[in-house]
Amino acid sequence: MITVSDTRSHETDRSGQVIQELLLEAGHGVVVYQIIKDEPTQIQDYLKALGEHSDLDALIFNGGTGIAPRDTTYEVLERLLEKTLPGFGEVFRFLSYQEIGSRAIASRAVAGVYQGKLVFSIPGSTGAVKLAMQQLILPELIHLITQLRG
């Protein structure tokens, strides 16, 4: 679980805390929790380092998915993903639209596969985190991991 933010700390990262709580409630473990700056090289280097961990099945990034100049998570992850799950972003935006209206078009949520691991990148707002986790990620996590393991 990785929070991409220039301002959050472990104490103020409510979205990161929500992701962890929801994963644990669903019976999953949290092996890594890190906050990194919204710097392309940091995001890329951290993804590559996590790709080496055989004890990780999925990586969830939150934050940096908007269109502000400092939002670079999408560009980095989209370039490095070996396979993408286009339906994840499409359905996330559809569900988000039902909650927040047309502002949902600014979300660049993305998911795919990197080094045999699922990678999800979701907006950093607590509402977006709950929506993505409860309606998309948690219901499909075990199925997707099983498919990756072949």
User: Total structural domains in the chain?
Assistant: 1
Indicate which CATH number applies to the domain containing 107: 3.40.980.10
Nearest-angstrom CA–CA distance, 89 and 74: 11
Q: Where are the alpha helices (DSSP H) in 52-82?
A: 73-80
Q: pLDDT tens across 103-143, in order?
A: 999 999 999 999 999 999 999 999 999 999 999 999 999 99
Is the pTM for the entire model greater than 0.85? yes
Q: pLDDT tens across 81-107, in order?
A: 999 999 999 999 999 999 999 999 999
Q: Which structural domain, as residue segments, surrounds residue 42?
A: 2-149
Please tell me the predicted confidence (pLDDT) of residue 150. 83
81: its two tokens: 């993903």
